[in-house]
Amino acid sequence: MSDAAEERRASELRRLIEDANYRYYALDDPAIPDVEFDRQLRELQDLEAAHPELLTPDSPTQRVGAGPLKDFAQVAHDVPMLSLNNAFSEGEVAAFDRRVREGLGREGLELEDETEYAVEPKFDGLAITLRYERGVFVRGATRGDGATGEDVSANLRTIRAIPMRLAGDNPPAVLEVRGEVLMLRRDFDQLNQEACDKGEKTFVNPRNAAAGSLRQLDSRITAKRRLHFFSYGIGRVEGVELPATHSEIMDWLATLRMPVARQRRVVSGVSGLMAYFKALGEQRSTLPFDIDGAVYKVNRLADQERLGFVSRAPRFAIAHKYPAQEELTEVEGIDVQVGRTGALTPVARLKPVFVGGVTVTNATLHNEDEARRKDVRVGDTVIVRRAGDVIPEVVGSLPERRPMRDLATPLHEPFVMPAVCPECGAPVLRLEGESATRCTNGLACPAQRKQAILHFASRRAMDIEGLGDKLVEQLVDRGLARTPADLYALGLEQLAGLERMAQKSAENLLSAIAASRHRPLARFIFALGIRQVGEQTAKDLARHFGKLDAIQGATADTLLQVPDVGPVVAASIAAFFRESHNQAVIEALRRVQAWVDGEAQAVPPGRFAGKTFVLTGTLPNLTRDQAKARIEAEGGKVAGSVSGKTDYVVAGAEPGSKLVKAEQLNIEILDETAFLYLFDKGEPPR
């Protein structure tokens, strides 16, 4: 190639790569396959290496990060970066609107003169300013104290949603774009998953992950953490006539290829603001990024100017906050509970805290590794999170708040798993490759006995109404029930001796126990509480074998013929039935006719017979149960985790690690539209 041809090619490649970046990162709508993108990037890198004079500061090859800095340089902001006042209720929003109307001399006017507001999400990230000169990115800085921030340009260059050159032929002489750097939830989940796999400490939330990534002195590290950016305003502008409203400015920024939130709107008056707040709140848990409120801005710039500022916040804008999904509280203790399979679960007992709409008093730490990874200690201040309907969790502790015993030793001791079962004193054991530590005493451990009986009686198992945990506790502690089979031998006299057990309730319980006999085989198998055997596997086993005898006599190899039963599940089933104690309990239950064997059934005919689906994330329209019902109605099955046997993964918003696994295993992934298409046409869209 001649020099001129190489220069043309380099500039063409830069354009193609930035186009692809824009489609992928700003619009979430990839235009070319990854391999093609990689090929173009490599070609440009090679060209620039051979001809260093072709390298420009806005080249996409510069997004991989540079060497470490000693420190960030200070940047004085041309236009200060202010903060927003907050509103937490409709009353406070109405007061804000009233102040705006008064400030504009419009109080007392009629409905048609309601104030027009530009409304948008309040992104939960970090404020950033980006400076473009003649369309080229020259510098970016954090907010700092509002007057002076830190120059994080090298890190910002690695964020592919941030254009290194503005689109359009007529760029302004100077344009400062203000916005928020954040991490999308899917990238956060992936980052934490990777940290977890490597045994490293995880980030507590996407905001912390974004902050930690942006403040790296070595931008090569930032380049590895996928950060994102949304603009929400402008700072200094030279050489261009601005439109009359904020919403038009946002539209203009979008034409320059600045990422702007799709969720932005223009509304009128308090009712418009409140309707937007509600609608955005309903979407909150399914948005790809965290928000902590909505921001309302008087739309006309001339009005904004008239209203001006009070101290460090504008009078023309306000942040309307949602109730916090994260709160701080203290760990008062860590209890260790023993479950049905003997697994020891550390549970943090918390100083009650109101978060995500409920009062939380305890949260599971799952197992030894989780407790250690989160390094939660008695006395610690921790972050508790409850988002949507998700079970509250301790996301992490704040070690910097730990009081110190001396200069080097914190007062709070790390959590250690007890060496013996807290319920029965038997030794505990953690097998290699397992995350659970278990009591080795099996059903001789009263805690396991209680849990086994409770599970047996539970609604989806034998469904014995009225047999709750308080009763089971007494039955086991008094030696009245050692196994589920003993329930059927209970008499009125024994029950009448229990606490809070009137004659009538005893009679009701006995008839509920009697009524639980003759349950279908699948329920009975599930009720046995075999490890790894959930409701679906129990159904599969009943359908495949038809009789309990046949399952009892099956070898691990025979069990492998059951759809979706893998080696681990097969081994667990075979081991359960080999155990003489279990055989004795089953014989006793056979004598009372606890179950009826069913005929082995063929797989129901259906277009998706033999196909396994995994559902993950929230679909926009279908509930999980609706999607499951559609799959099962056509003979398909829904599995809980992704494996080589999975045929399709149906992914909605906030899909989590199942999606990552599906991508790794190259399993076909469907969104809701593709899923519905599949059920309509019998094959996925191509």
Q: What is the DSSP letter of 53?
A: G
233 lines the binding site for ligand IVH (CB under 6 A): yes
The residues, any chain, with a CB within 8 Å of residue 277's CB and separated by 6 or more, are 93, 294, 320
Q: Which stretch binds ligand IVH (CB under 6 A): 117-125, 424-432, 433-441, 506-514?
A: 117-125
Classify strands 428-429 and 438-439 as parallel, antiparallel or unpaired: antiparallel
Task: Find where tokens 């709140």 sit.
Answer: 281
Give whichever of 68 and 308 is closer to ligand IVH, judged by the CB atom: 308
Q: How many residues at the interface with ligand IVH, by CB under 6 A? A: 15
d(CA 590, CA 594): 6
82 lines the binding site for ligand IVH (CB under 6 A): yes
Closest residue to ligand IVH in the complex (CB)? 127
Give whichever of 122 and 544 is closer to ligand IVH, judged by the CB atom: 122
List 245's β-bridge partners, or say none. Answer: 300
Q: In what order do the strands lie in the sheet with 317-321?
A: 86-87, 317-321, 291-298, 116-123, 265-268
The residues, any chain, with a CB within 8 Å of residue 434's CB and separated by 6 or more, are none
Q: Which stretch binds ligand IVH (CB under 6 A): 120-128, 469-477, 487-495, 618-626?
A: 120-128
d(CA 319, CA 181): 18
Min dist. Cβ of residue 390 to ligand IVH (A): 23
156 lines the binding site for ligand IVH (CB under 6 A): no
Q: Which of 338, 329, 436, 343 is nearest to 376 (CA)?
A: 329
Give whichever of 54 and 317 is closer to ligand IVH, judged by the CB atom: 317
Give whichever of 122 and 377 is closer to ligand IVH, judged by the CB atom: 122
Min dist. Cβ of residue 333 to ligand IVH (A): 37
Q: Which stretch binds ligand IVH (CB under 6 A): 9-17, 184-192, 311-319, 407-415?
A: 311-319
Give whichever of 213 and 329 is closer to ligand IVH, judged by the CB atom: 213
Give whichever of 123 and 648 is closer to ligand IVH, judged by the CB atom: 123
Binding mask 334-363 for ligand IVH (x = CB under 6 A): ------------------------------
d(CA 87, CA 435): 45
The residues, any chain, with a CB within 8 Å of residue 567's CB and separated by 6 or more, are 556, 560
- Of residues 131-150, those binding ligand IVH (CB under 6 A): 143
Give whichever of 83 and 626 is closer to ligand IVH, judged by the CB atom: 83
Min dist. Cβ of residue 79 to ligand IVH (A): 9
Min dist. Cβ of residue 135 to ligand IVH (A): 24
Binding mask 382-421 for ligand IVH (x = CB under 6 A): ----------------------------------------
Q: Which two tokens stand for residue 333?
A: 């203790």
d(CA 149, CA 140): 9
Near ligand IVH by CB under 6 A: residue from 84, 371, 589, 653: 84
Min dist. Cβ of residue 126 to ligand IVH (A): 7
Q: Which of 540, 537, 519 is nearest to 594 (CA)?
A: 519
Give whichever of 249 and 350 is closer to ligand IVH, judged by the CB atom: 249
d(CA 296, CA 246): 11
123 lines the binding site for ligand IVH (CB under 6 A): yes
Catalytic residue among 122, 450, 637, 658: 122
The three-state secondary structure class of 120 is strand
Min dist. Cβ of residue 685 to ligand IVH (A): 35
Q: Which two tokens stand for residue 183?
A: 């991490």
Helices (H), ranges, 480-534: 492-496, 503-515, 521-527
Near ligand IVH by CB under 6 A: residue from 18, 97, 150, 180: 180
| Region for 546 from its dihedrals, namely left if φ exceeds 0, alpha if ψ lies in -120 to 50, beta otherwise | left
Residue 566: how many other CB atoms lie within 10 Å: 14
Task: Find where tokens 């403040």 sit.
Answer: 215
232 lines the binding site for ligand IVH (CB under 6 A): yes
Q: Which of 466, 445, 448 is nearest to 457 (CA)?
A: 466
253 lines the binding site for ligand IVH (CB under 6 A): no
Give whichever of 319 and 588 is closer to ligand IVH, judged by the CB atom: 319
Residue 325, phi then psi, degrees to nearest 5:
-100, -10
Residue type, 540: D
d(CA 259, CA 351): 42
Residue 551 half-sphere exposure, CB side, CA atoms within 13 Å?
34
681 as an active site residue: the answer is: no
Min dist. Cβ of residue 226 to ligand IVH (A): 19
d(CA 406, CA 576): 52
Give whichever of 317 and 461 is closer to ligand IVH, judged by the CB atom: 317
Near ligand IVH by CB under 6 A: residue from 103, 212, 314, 606: 314
SS3 annotation, 357-398: CEEEEEEECCCHHHHHHHCCCCCCEEEEECCCCCCCEEEEEC
64 lines the binding site for ligand IVH (CB under 6 A): no
Q: Are 37 and 13 in contact (CB under 8 A)?
A: no
122 lines the binding site for ligand IVH (CB under 6 A): yes
Near ligand IVH by CB under 6 A: residue from 10, 183, 250, 295: 295
Min dist. Cβ of residue 277 to ligand IVH (A): 13
Min dist. Cβ of residue 386 to ligand IVH (A): 22
Q: Which stretch binds ligand IVH (CB under 6 A): 312-320, 418-426, 451-459, 541-549?
A: 312-320
Min dist. Cβ of residue 214 to ligand IVH (A): 12
Q: Which two tokens stand for residue 369?
A: 């590794």
Near ligand IVH by CB under 6 A: residue from 20, 87, 127, 191: 127
d(CA 666, CA 641): 15
The residues, any chain, with a CB within 8 Å of residue 429's CB and separated by 6 or more, are 437, 438, 440
- Of residues 16-35, those binding ligand IVH (CB under 6 A): none
Residue type, 567: P
d(CA 234, CA 84): 15
Q: Which stretch binds ligand IVH (CB under 6 A): 69-77, 217-225, 235-243, 314-322?
A: 314-322
Give whichever of 288 and 427 is closer to ligand IVH, judged by the CB atom: 288
Min dist. Cβ of residue 272 to ligand IVH (A): 17
The three-state secondary structure class of 167 is coil
Give whichever of 122 and 225 is closer to ligand IVH, judged by the CB atom: 122
Near ligand IVH by CB under 6 A: residue from 18, 48, 97, 120: 120
d(CA 203, CA 188): 8
Q: Which stretch binds ligand IVH (CB under 6 A): 122-130, 413-421, 475-483, 598-606?
A: 122-130
Q: Which stretch binds ligand IVH (CB under 6 A): 7-15, 37-45, 119-127, 469-477?
A: 119-127
The residues, any chain, with a CB within 8 Å of residue 479's CB and separated by 6 or more, are none
Q: Which stretch binds ligand IVH (CB under 6 A): 243-251, 299-307, 313-321, 610-618?
A: 313-321
d(CA 260, CA 249): 11
The residues, any chain, with a CB within 8 Å of residue 290's CB and separated by 6 or more, are 123, 124, 125, 182, 185, 205, 206, 207
Catalytic residues: 122
Q: Which residues bind ligand IVH (CB under 6 A)?
A: 82-84, 120, 122-123, 127, 143, 180, 232-233, 295, 314, 317, 319
